Structure 1
């Protein structure tokens, strides 16, 4: 695989280098890319860019600024004359001690740098974000694309904020200086003090300062700003440390996340999280227990398989794939982007995943690489690539290449967490709410299930997919290895629907076709009369049938299936809660042949190991090998476009990473609040951002002074919401014919506000929408609407359209009024 060659960029604001940006080989059309934010002084509208070259020379640079929809271009600034950068003089990033590097040059060099000064002339709103695309044109007329978001602020104070990050960071390495940051911590008695893998603001000073480790910093990257206001900031810092563990020297990738408010008087640290992950080192294999040491890490991305004869094992770790041959006692690095003697900034950029699909007894592996390609033929592209590895020839061979025009973070959300390649060379995978089968021999693909969000499940244990038919009259169970299908029929005038997988078994329900309730906002709720659990052959092993009422909601988690039973009621929704039921499946305590285990020591605390079967004995450290070459087949490209039905998703970003996505905006708002992040829609428009609600707000609205019936109350609330946008609807809302969001969108232009339905979001998060100047409709679990038009420290200000009266409720009483479940809000962003 060829070395990485694309330049990397840095923004320079207030004399501080921030936001390392990696280049894309094609224009990313997705407006939802949110890797960093570059603050810009609104009065000056200038900032600089460091272009750090290696094998590629830059002759021109352009910065194009877009409206917040990511589509409307506002202006383009061009730079063709560069000045020398002072990058090499900056203490903020790079090697701390070149002698500490793992092998000669494994963390690379900065390369040559050029400085481009950007001068913007457009009319930009203070405090608003604008997507920006930076295009680098090389001496060979190649275009390379980079992305940031510009935030225009009166006084961003970038220099002071970065200084605090560097002060805090350096203090954690010195037991004497750590006392200077002790006042910023919020140590609690219930914080986990047993691992270095995740340390937070709630941990002790001892753990924040690495306890007994005495780490040495080897490499530090520049900070990345992910959120920024005049006084507050969220930022992350990546670096590498080495530690003498007592059993040798180990190296670790570390990330610190900061969130704080900077004032002239002091700094208020709202959040601090540090994540530490050991770099895999074969020399640290445990011979006493024949285990591969992963060390201090979060093991959630580790994927492991072992052959039936136990002579072959494979595992993924930190974006790399390894294969172990027991008989020859050799560990082969099958796939990695890391390369000695090259550039750490580029090669070790961790924006990809590796997933093992299958492994034969001979060690033949199908595996999939998804994300940003750091180097090689696809350098700078984001893609899904299917490979095979043949241990007999030590070759990896490309089988399918699926390029996309979005970021790694968004691709993770678009890919369905399922992929399989069978012995007939049929590759099953899911993307854009669609399940595909790709014939690797015939180079043809077919759609197995389209528009299948919430309509399909995958059982890894059972080796099958199960999905609803288009007419919901049957469920198809597809055995992935053989291709055999089993049909589960609904029956006359009934529907059937998949709910989940419970210990390898399928959970599904049956209901009457006409048993559908339509909520006040047009949401249809299908009722079910029974829920079944069946095995991989479709045989029912457990059943629940509602003897009174029907089942409105089913959730499957672990070995428990929870069901909500409702009965008819004389209210807007036509039903009310009766009781909850459960189906509990027995747990099978099976010991995996290859598994993760932990050990705890006083110095390193909790560390992880890959444990092999007891029959495997390592007499010596395994030999190290790697694939000798890569064979790229011709015509492996398979291209897909987003179908029209793939829409309505919201994304939660925190510290430049996608931490959640859903069509339920309320769900991702809660996640953003928990992770100090932001929510954006598929166009990149900010929906919600933590910390933007003022302490109090009261909107001036002329409310009607008449009461209406309970069945007309929701329509009245809608009229009030539309009138806040100076809109009088041309027709009355009819919930049986249209959803409420579509109805509002018919009358309110996007530029005036985008309506959104937020399920089960908390009132503390709802305040952000009111603070932005928009009233909010709050609908209780009984379907009763309120207009939220204000709040303060102690209460929520409401208008009851049914009674035609204003009222105020304490937060506790408002929470009780909304109910235990099925409440929601309708708001604008």
Structure 2
């Protein structure tokens, strides 16, 4: 019996030891197969202009598509000089060179190597060089700086340059630097009141976003004891003779307790329970840091758009955003709240089906919280306490949460410029998977791009969705791709998408497109559930066409139009009146139909829980007249989340962002995790199939960078006008710029002629435009053959880009007259005039039908009268631009 017991004990011991050894070996193997993300290694370049540090440049590992590299523009100093400073961060610079190219990158103007590099260990390198006399004044070019590093790697840095003495850059830089400095001193800031436009448009309830319309108190930081903690980094975004757009970035701190001793509790709190909740928020944000620093840090961005005149400087736009540098290891928990602090925008949050796990993005870092296990994990972020410099803090990327499951696993995208790690200096999309059980992050797929990160982020924001079969759907250009993350294969789901021919639901789960991509001739819609991959077709009836309007939740909204109702105006623009609007889902069919006699819908917009329909009526003459909008309400409400982002209102900090968790948080027992990255063998890169775009694309840039992409030039100009931005074509050349024009201009070379029996006003205006560009045509003959105005201009002027700007404002099209380019104005009766000049009070038109003997054919029209005249005729404007190659 004793021997049996001894044998059993020995067997148990051997089993336990074996289990321990095997476990150790397995764990050792797992440890060896994981690493921390590689540190940032590329140098950073900054430029100098008249003593100002401007345009911090980050290095690219690959040759980029030059036309979309629009992060900054650098004015050249006297003698076409460039002053730059290189922070090598411990790297040895083996060589420095530069290229000067045309904006579209097609023409290499200069390629020069810079010798005599003097570098002391870990010291900044200052380099001055001049560009050759091969560039035109007041014309933009692309400067590419090439650094050869100690491992022979060539890193590229991009900025536009312009050689000018007429843009008053130093005055503009001095103005914004002085404005920013004064906001920290209320006495000095009194000078700023003449520049502010404080009114009801300003939101004075948050420091997260302060604008030119905010109050003086809000602009000067209210009661916050703000201390500037870094030098201001200025990026020149756009530059013209009169106007300029600038972005200033720096960091501030705020002490955790108020020196005034006054209560920070909002006066709006009405009951004890709410009062206690606010007090807990205040206490959490006033607790000292674990390192005894007793302050919190905030990233500040200030956008300025200014106009220079000889009399004074004008502030056209101002916006300041403020975002707390959230640290999950600090005291930021109270009951069931996670306090994120002051934030400037929405905080993305996605939870598992049961709500026990959720992930959120703040400060461009991704966190997940496991409620059951009480684990907080920093899943991804280029910066942390050990890697905190201008490279890792650079906001050239975005993070999107794709999926969170009940096992605590998270799938997410990192897309844009990669500041560090295995893809340092590249622009692309990384698909990552966080495995909760082993606390690791693994890259499943990497998709490289040669375009700028701003363009990539704008495209991916339109559609990126993953289903449970690990199929990732992305939109890029005019295509939707399906990428299998397991087999790492790629297929084209649909192509030839054009503006208005497709829509995506807010969740990205549903997508719809017109088969064939024809916005006004679509006979069939294809509705796809990206979760299941199933498609459903909806066909138009005989003599009808069908077009998508949008989604309400996951339900499709689309319109039906009769082919006989679709007409083209004299400018060739399509009027698309839909006599019926339907709401349909993928399973139950048509849920609702909207139709009224002689009422047509021209557009629809989903706003909250309602659809706003833009409507017209058809007159006896067959034309369409706008009538009052109508709304369709959605009675269904979205299911409430178990964990949600909410706002807390305080007296001192105003609005604070926090996450309300479904259970109370035990801060004492909470585990803080930082996953390691999984090593893997082989290649996980997928390159999307190349293709040629079928339509021109126009890029709208504003204070947020790339604001949108349009395939219609009129839409692009209207968009840019609304956001005070610029429109750029695919070659990187300007199509339109907000406000950058003189007070007056007239094209004196255009005199015009009077209508005759053989030639009407439209033909005369066309012939005059063509003759102005040195081309002789018989426009009357071509018009009678059925050619449109746009077709005639395109065929006759192949060296210019013809623009149909129907629907744009008079103020917008005067930009072209300022460039000495005439604008043809189509009138409802089929006649036309040319816009050839303007001043502060009048426009100058060439009207071939004029019978005014005193003023002649070319005469002035009051600005307000012109605006009303053209609006009554549909604002039908046709013009063009000349691209300097």
Shared fold (TM-score greater than 0.5)? yes
Higher mean Cα deviation, 195-204 or 510-519?
510-519
> Residue 507 of structure 1: which of 557, 579, 591 is its match?
557
Contact 1:198 1:274 in 2 (8 A): yes
Higher mean Cα deviation, 146-155 or 805-814?
805-814
* Pairing 1:195–2:206 present: yes
Larger radius of gyration: 2
Gap regions ≥5 residues in structure 1: 86-109
Name the structure 2 match of 1:774: 821
- Please give the per-residue CA displacement for 1:278-319, whole angstroms capped at 9, x wherever unaligned: 11122566644512222211223x221112222111112232
* Pairing 1:745–2:794 present: yes
* Pairing 1:119–2:142 present: no
Question: Cα RMSD (Å) of the superposition?
Answer: 3.0
Q: 1:472-487 alignment to 2 at 5 Å? A: 472-487=522-537
Where 1:140 maps in the other structure, the secondary structure is coil
**TM-score, normalised by the number of residues in structure 1:** 0.89
Shift in Å, 1:688: 2.1
Shift in Å, 1:754: 2.6
Shift in Å, 1:352: 0.6
Name the structure 2 match of 1:63: 98
Contact 2:237 2:247 in 1 (8 A): yes
Residues 801 and 330 of structure 1, relative CA distance in 2, 3 Å threshold: farther
Aligned length: 796
Residues 68 and 781 of structure 1, relative CA distance in 2, 3 Å threshold: farther
Contact 2:804 2:877 in 1 (8 A): yes
Where 2:804 maps in the other structure, the secondary structure is strand
Shift in Å, 1:473: 3.2
Contact 1:25 1:145 in 2 (8 A): yes
Shift in Å, 1:35: 1.1
Higher mean Cα deviation, 242-251 or 158-167?
158-167
* Pairing 1:257–2:303 present: yes
Shift in Å, 1:136: 1.6
> Residue 684 of structure 1: which of 716, 732, 738 is its match?
732
Contact 1:129 1:150 in 2 (8 A): yes
Name the structure 2 match of 1:33: 69
Q: Report which of the two has the higher share of helix.
A: 2
Shift in Å, 1:521: 2.7
Shift in Å, 1:500: 0.9
**TM-score, normalised by the number of residues in structure 2:** 0.83
Residues 576 and 231 of structure 1, relative CA distance in 2, 3 Å threshold: closer
Where 2:391 maps in the other structure, the secondary structure is helix
Name the structure 2 match of 1:222: 233
Name the structure 1 match of 2:448: 403
Name the structure 2 match of 1:496: 546
Contact 1:695 1:793 in 2 (8 A): yes
Contact 2:332 2:338 in 1 (8 A): yes
Where 2:113 maps in the other structure, the secondary structure is strand
Contact 2:374 2:665 in 1 (8 A): no
Name the structure 1 match of 2:377: 332
- Counterpart-to-counterpart distance in 1, 2:186 and 2:298: 20
Name the structure 2 match of 1:103: none
Contact 1:283 1:621 in 2 (8 A): no
Shift in Å, 1:723: 2.0
Residues 723 and 58 of structure 1, relative CA distance in 2, 3 Å threshold: same
Name the structure 2 match of 1:74: 109
Shift in Å, 1:250: 1.9
- Counterpart-to-counterpart distance in 2, 1:802 and 1:708: 12
- Please give the per-residue CA displacement for 1:233-259, whole angstroms capped at 9, x wherever unaligned: 432211111112431332110012233
- Please give the per-residue CA displacement for 1:703-723, whole angstroms capped at 9, x wherever unaligned: 12115799x654443322222
Where 2:222 maps in the other structure, the secondary structure is coil
Residues 318 and 706 of structure 1, relative CA distance in 2, 3 Å threshold: same
Where 2:805 maps in the other structure, the secondary structure is strand
Shift in Å, 1:143: 1.5
Contact 1:652 1:671 in 2 (8 A): yes
Contact 1:522 1:736 in 2 (8 A): no
- Counterpart-to-counterpart distance in 2, 1:582 and 1:231: 42
Contact 2:198 2:213 in 1 (8 A): yes
- Counterpart-to-counterpart distance in 2, 1:315 and 1:448: 30
Shift in Å, 1:39: 0.8
Q: 1:112-151 alignment to 2 at 5 Å? A: 112-151=123-162
- Please give the per-residue CA displacement for 1:139-166, whole angstroms capped at 9, x wherever unaligned: 3322111111111112666555444443
Name the structure 1 match of 2:33: none
Q: 1:237-252 alignment to 2 at 5 Å? A: 237-246=248-257, 247-248=286-287, 249-252=295-298
- Counterpart-to-counterpart distance in 2, 1:729 and 1:564: 40
Shift in Å, 1:735: 9.9
- Please give the per-residue CA displacement for 1:788-809, whole angstroms capped at 9, x wherever unaligned: 1111212222233566854543
- Please give the per-residue CA displacement for 1:358-387, whole angstroms capped at 9, x wherever unaligned: 222212222111100000111111101211
- Please give the per-residue CA displacement for 1:664-689, whole angstroms capped at 9, x wherever unaligned: 33444344445443322111111222
Name the structure 2 match of 1:9: 45
Contact 1:522 1:735 in 2 (8 A): no
- Counterpart-to-counterpart distance in 2, 1:784 and 1:334: 64
* Pairing 1:600–2:643 present: no
Name the structure 2 match of 1:755: 802
Where 2:767 maps in the other structure, the secondary structure is helix
- Counterpart-to-counterpart distance in 2, 1:450 and 1:511: 24
- Counterpart-to-counterpart distance in 1, 2:603 and 2:242: 44
Name the structure 2 match of 1:560: 611
Contact 1:128 1:151 in 2 (8 A): yes
Q: Report which of the two has the higher share of strand.
A: 1
* Pairing 1:521–2:593 present: no
Gap regions ≥5 residues in structure 2: 1-36, 258-285, 288-294, 852-856
Residues 123 and 464 of structure 1, relative CA distance in 2, 3 Å threshold: closer
- Counterpart-to-counterpart distance in 2, 1:190 and 1:672: 20
Higher mean Cα deviation, 393-402 or 222-231?
222-231
- Please give the per-residue CA displacement for 1:453-506, whole angstroms capped at 9, x wherever unaligned: 322222356943222222833322222222222222323443332221123311
Residues 265 and 555 of structure 1, relative CA distance in 2, 3 Å threshold: closer
Contact 1:19 1:222 in 2 (8 A): yes
Where 1:344 maps in the other structure, the secondary structure is coil
Contact 1:282 1:621 in 2 (8 A): no
Shift in Å, 1:410: 1.6
Name the structure 2 match of 1:545: 595
- Counterpart-to-counterpart distance in 2, 1:275 and 1:776: 39
Residues 719 and 281 of structure 1, relative CA distance in 2, 3 Å threshold: same
Where 2:868 maps in the other structure, the secondary structure is helix
- Counterpart-to-counterpart distance in 2, 1:460 and 1:235: 32
